[in-house]
Amino acid sequence: MASTALQHTEDPAFRRVVLRGQFDAAHSLLLDNRQRDGKVGVELLQPFQDQASGQWLLVNRGWLPWPDRRIPAQFTTPGEVLNLTAWVYVAPGATFQLHADPATTTWPQLVTAVEPAKLWAALERDGFPYELRAEPGPGTYQADWPVVAMGPEKHLGYAVQWFAMATALLGLYVYLGLHNAKEKHHGNGHESTQHV
């Protein structure tokens, strides 16, 4: 899928896109508290302008180690035009928040969470509201993302599973309700014959 189609996609989560453009090295975000293989580090996110659409996208270039907090995290940004393949990442759970004001802080920014829409507003750019995670290739660091297997077929599977469970519970409720009513009816009849 081309980046131009992303804006018109109702549910862009996990869509794969092919991009051609350049990174904005001046506005890098370092997503803190990311671990790989027991090592501490950060994920590097940078604005990327797609040439075909002119749209800005926030691309996660991958994980890089940051063992010594006294020294700034070391990374480089390619200056040339790149071809990238990435996929749209929509975080599960709570919305990400940008903890610093991009207009007043120095770059790169160390953040614990990111909300792309706020970043684009602060930079006065028209940008895509979700993070894109780059696949291994030019300009990426360690981009072996944890597998998120939540395609439409998995959602449908969960829906069927929960519907079946609800049906079984409803059946059990009706059965027990009828069984208890029958027990009470027989019990009342038995008591009345004893009094006679």
Q: Average pLDDT of 100-113? A: 74
pLDDT per position as a tens digit, 24-56: 999 999 999 888 888 999 999 999 999 999 999
Q: How many residues does the chain have?
A: 196
pLDDT per position as a tens digit, 138-154: 889 998 876 655 556 55
Provide the CA 139 distance to its chain's centre, in angstroms: 22
Q: Chain-wide mean pLDDT for the chain?
A: 81
- At 190, give phi and psi (nearest 5°): -65, -40
pLDDT at 95: 47
This model's pTM is above 0.85: no
Cα atoms in the 13 Å half-sphere on the side-chain side of 60: 27
d(CA 45, CA 93) in angstroms, rounded, equals: 20
Residue 27 near residue 46 (C-beta atoms within 8 A)? yes
Which residues does 6 contact at the CB level (< 8 Å), separation at least 6?
12, 15, 17, 55, 88, 128
Provide the sign of the torsion angle of the four alpha carbons 112, 146, 91, 143, taken in this order. Answer: positive
Q: Which of 25-39, 104-118, 182-196 has the lowest mean pLDDT?
A: 182-196
